């Protein structure tokens, strides 16, 4: 199935992209926005897929943060420009509204700090106490680097221990694996399918958490010559379940957002508007 023509059912689930009011003149606090530096994802059989962040999964929640008065601060592993997955630049993810898609693309191009993010290492060195929350958009890119990034693992642990809102959408929740003691070994075990992954997950901070992530059914719809052009090395649902999470997904392409303690997760692009609203709500709740 063509990734750009998933169907009318998906379009119906999307919410049109409207221009938000101006952000508050006084910041309500900084929100760390962690993005991938990856531009391609390794697939099975030596194949690769050109990827990056998903436009609506990044811009829709980002703008909701800004309009609510929060100050996003972008960081990624290399401190380089995150690239957009070309397949996400489609009006279907904005309720079929071409003007909304164009507005989102223009908005992303106008974010100056997107061109010069902080590095995750610098965030760790400076400490995370200056941030009120954490937001990580999806796309397949996080599966290429963030899920094994030790600096991100330290950042996640800090937010987890201090109970600060941590919002992650689509493929993004797979980055929670970076908080494992040895994420490289865990990921290698998932790829090899050797049955050792569960034992390697001992002590994972998110064991027992209820969350959602891009579903296996959704992923399988994208695998093929008109989509990814191959098969992913493992499914995010399986990896998070092996690590000890309770993974709940709805029918393909239906908005799904789950909150468990500090963690807010969204299932896929159709969840972006609801996810952004819930993330802002959880941040606002800390200020009361």
The pLDDT of residue 226: 77
Residues 6+ apart with CB under 8 A from 78: 37, 119
pLDDT, tens digit, for every residue of 100-125? 999 999 999 999 999 999 999 999 99
pLDDT at 2 exceeding the cut of 70: no
pLDDT, tens digit, for every residue of 217-239? 999 999 988 789 999 999 999 99
Q: Which domains does the chain have, with CATH numbers?
A: 26-286 (3.40.50.880)
Count of CA atoms in the C-beta half-sphere (13 A) of 271: 31
pLDDT, tens digit, for every residue of 141-157? 999 999 999 999 999 99
Whether the CB-CB separation of 108 and 115 falls below 8 Å is answered with no
The pLDDT of residue 288: 64
What's the average model confidence in pLDDT over 261-284?
98
pLDDT, tens digit, for every residue of 147-197? 999 999 999 999 999 999 999 999 999 999 999 999 999 999 999 999 999
pLDDT at 7 exceeding the cut of 60: no
Rounded Cα–Cα distance for residues 171 and 142 (Å): 7
Distances from the Cα of 76 to the Cα of 54, 73, 105, 123, angstroms: 15, 10, 20, 10
Sign of CA dihedral 259, 14, 41, 241: positive
pTM of the entire predicted model: 0.91
Copy the structure tokens of residue 189.
């075990």
């Amino acid at each position: 199935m063509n990734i750009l023509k998933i169907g009318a059912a998906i379009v119906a689930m999307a919410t049109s992209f409207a221009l938000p009011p101006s952000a508050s003149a006084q910041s309500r606090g900084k929100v760390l926005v962690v993005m991938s530096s990856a531009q391609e994802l390794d697939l099975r059989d030596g194949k690769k897929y050109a990827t990056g962040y998903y436009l609506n999964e990044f811009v829709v929640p980002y703008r909701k943060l800004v309009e609510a008065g929060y100050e996003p601060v972008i960081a990624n592993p290399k401190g380089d420009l995150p690239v957009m997955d070309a397949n996400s630049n489609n009006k279907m993810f904005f309720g079929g509204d071409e003007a909304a898609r164009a507005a989102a693309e223009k908005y992303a191009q106008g974010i100056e700090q997107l061109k010069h993010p902080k590095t995750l290492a610098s965030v760790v060195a400076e400490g995370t106490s200056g941030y009120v929350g954490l937001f990580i958009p999806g796309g397949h890119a996080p599966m290429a680097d963030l899920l094994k990034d030790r600096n991100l693992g330290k950042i996640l642990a800090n937010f987890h221990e201090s109970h600060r809102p941590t919002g992650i959408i689509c493929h993004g929740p797979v980055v929670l694996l970076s908080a494992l003691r040895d994420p490289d070994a865990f990921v290698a075990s998932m790829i090899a399918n050797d049955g050792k992954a569960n034992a390697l997950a001992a002590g994972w901070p998110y064991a027992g958490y209820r969350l959602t992530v891009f579903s296996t059914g959704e992923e399988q719809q994208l695998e093929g010559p008109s989509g990814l052009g191959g098969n992913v090395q493992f499914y995010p649902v399986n990896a998070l379940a092996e690590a000890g999470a309770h993974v709940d997904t709805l029918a393909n392409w239906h908005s799904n957002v789950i909150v468990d303690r500090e963690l807010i997760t969204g299932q896929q692009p159709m969840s972006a508007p609801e996810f952004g609203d819930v993330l802002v709500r959880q941040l606002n709740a800390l200020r009361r």
